[in-house]
Chain A
């Protein structure tokens, strides 16, 4: 056997295979896999998780998140805030990777570009609190009217549309990252298409990017805060969406971190890896169609479904992987309130299944609608295995409990979106993840003007509450309004909250200081280090 082994090792050396090691304590390099090729590293346009992960490591905004996840000074050294304006003093040692200083003009350029309808950024709405941003984005004003001004190279002044309590939290978000105009103009259409086609001002810089194969990041020696960065390199040597392949790479010690799903979870347990749970901060729910011709616009019918649904059973029987929480509210449990979490301060009504009540409500619904039997309801879902499994559960549950017929309509990502937007559904399996660290990222979802409100829920009371929270910077006023919305979501059965998503992941035991975060670049390796 020894002979066989040494032969094989000799062969492997011959064939040029490198000995696998996912972490290197002496060189302080960590190897990881990306789930996909980052589709858009232009910070003004990026929306997907992988691009935001990379950008969060190689660029920095006015503020950043420190190792504890608190907002800390980034390019901006200090700032002053008033109700409708902010002034930032930029640090003089903030540099681009080519040595140029990061100036206030770089922010002006990036912000104007992000809201420019010609740029067509999907995240333009992030900047809507800035004066005139929305009007510019709708093509009604020139971009020069945006409420951002460089007083000099290192002083930036921002005017807000209205008092926005969470404005500072936006300044750590990718869409608000600076971009140097001169460099951008020099590469224009291919900006951020390759490692050499962008400038970096973050803790790391991309040194090597082979499309769909690998993306290597190295400590950025021009970064102002480089002394605090311990890692010298983050090498994403593998790019694959296949979770099983990533688990295999982890077992083989070729990557040091990977997220698991229901299937790979069991194998990870068998290998006795330490399973770590993480709440993603997203809420999944059934969304109804409120167009008047749709039967789901009937309140009693929605309430009947709400009274029949058992979120605990759903989480335990259908989702199975640990970390998921039973759905109770539009607002996930991590959202901050005035002092504690919002849900601690304003507990949501617990969804308790009550079959007799549900049947009563259904009978009332039938009477109101004047029908003997509710016609089959179309449940629109995406074509992922988990989504279809969940839909089948819902179908079975409503049939046995309420004798409601559900037709499941499985569609690919784009088709599902098209059908949602056109209103071609009764119920749709949907979810929402936070864009910024404030309750409003969930709160205005069903406002009549919100384009993401694809079921066209329209309730003046809901809109009124959103406006109160939007126009106030007093935390208590805002949270009171949001509590009103939480009650409305239950009483009006606007949605059926199913679960708060939790995921599980594994990481190499030698990695310390890896931060998982609900907002922004996740996982955050910026302050990670490898212990010997």
Chain B
């Protein structure tokens, strides 16, 4: 187990290095000057800025400087907010995205497992058809539509009640988190429902279920003890990457609900060619994603010993 974990971690480090290098190259290949703004400035001013951010050096040298700073955990100063360090931006805004993401994934996992199990139980009957229809919607409708609809729903709800039941946007209390995290988790919930359904249907036909039935176990016991437990494994597998996807993919939801998450910085940095923020957030998110995948692999090893043996 120790060697297995160590091996996974090592490959993780290489992956992060690769992400950093690929992002660095892609970023510099994008046309446009990060130091250029609407108001033209003198050559002298541009040179000074270039010197401040080290852009006056040749690219390979920038790369080496960048990597060595990154290893020391320093992502530099933002281009757009010239008095803020990228480290501070990540430190201030990632916890927000994470809190939102955790709640979203909780909604998604609970909902996905529940709906998936129900559809499998009522296979090809009305509940199955209705839920699967909603699942298709959930997978195909982009999150910005859900976000706008969710907010509109709140506005109408508040108007109907004549008082603020749930805040329409903003951040600070638990009630601020409910709608955005639900919206954020919907896509994942749909995905997990489908996964859970097919996995449940597969398990139903297994020999041990037949044996359990033949032994005269109650349907509840068969469902919870044997079917659900075995069917849940593939769901756990995708949960890791999904957690990362949710915590990083909240850009639109953060914008609509005015949430100070890292997703906004992540996307805006690319639009504004904010080199240091692009690198900082990408590498950070990349490392986070890799870590989640490794974590799931390790947990999987505990749940299912066969994985370890392979």
Contact surface of A with B, Cβ cutoff 8 Å: 5, 8-9, 11-12, 15-20, 33, 37, 39-40, 42, 45, 47, 117-118, 120-125, 137-139, 189-193, 197, 210-214, 237-242, 244-245, 248-249, 251-252, 254, 412-415, 417-419, 421, 450-452, 454
Contacts and interface: CB of A to CB of B under 8 A. Distances in A.
Contacts of B265: 212
A12 B271 contact: no
Contact of B83 (A19, A20, A192, A414): A192
Nearest to A432: B38
B126 interface: no
Interface string B11-53: 0000000000000000000111110111111101110110010
A234 to B, nearest CB: 16
Given A9-B165, A245-B169, A120 B41 contact: yes
Contacts of B30: 415
A452 B33 CA distance: 15
Nearest to A241: B255
B171 A213 contact: yes
B171 A252 contact: no
A241 B251 CA distance: 12
5 contacts: A117-B45, A120-B48, A121-B45, A124-B42, A451-B42
Given A212-B260, A214-B171, A244-B151, 17 more contacts: A8-B165, A12-B165, A15-B175, A15-B178, A16-B174, A39-B81, A122-B39, A137-B45, A139-B44, A211-B93, A248-B152, A252-B155, A254-B167, A414-B36, A418-B36, A421-B40, A450-B40
A421 B36 contact: yes
A40 B169 contact: no
Contacts of B84: 190, 193, 211
A237 B32 contact: no
Contacts of B46: 120
Contacts of B162: 5
Contact of B173 (A15, A211, A254, A451): A15
A42 B174 contact: no
Contacts of A9: 161, 163, 165
B155 A251 contact: yes
Interface in B131-182: 148, 151-152, 154-155, 158-159, 161-175, 178
B161 A137 contact: no
Contacts, number: 188
B169 A238 contact: yes
B169 A8 contact: no
A122 B41 CA distance: 6
Contact of A239 (B40, B96, B172, B260): B260
A419 B33 CA distance: 10
B36 A191 contact: no
B80 A39 contact: yes
A12 B152 CA distance: 18
Given A138-B42, A210-B260, A418-B36, A237 B81 contact: no
Contacts of B260: 210-213, 239
Would you list the 8 A-B pairs with minimal beta carbon distance, nearest first? A451-B40, A212-B260, A213-B260, A414-B32, A240-B258, A15-B175, A193-B83, A415-B32
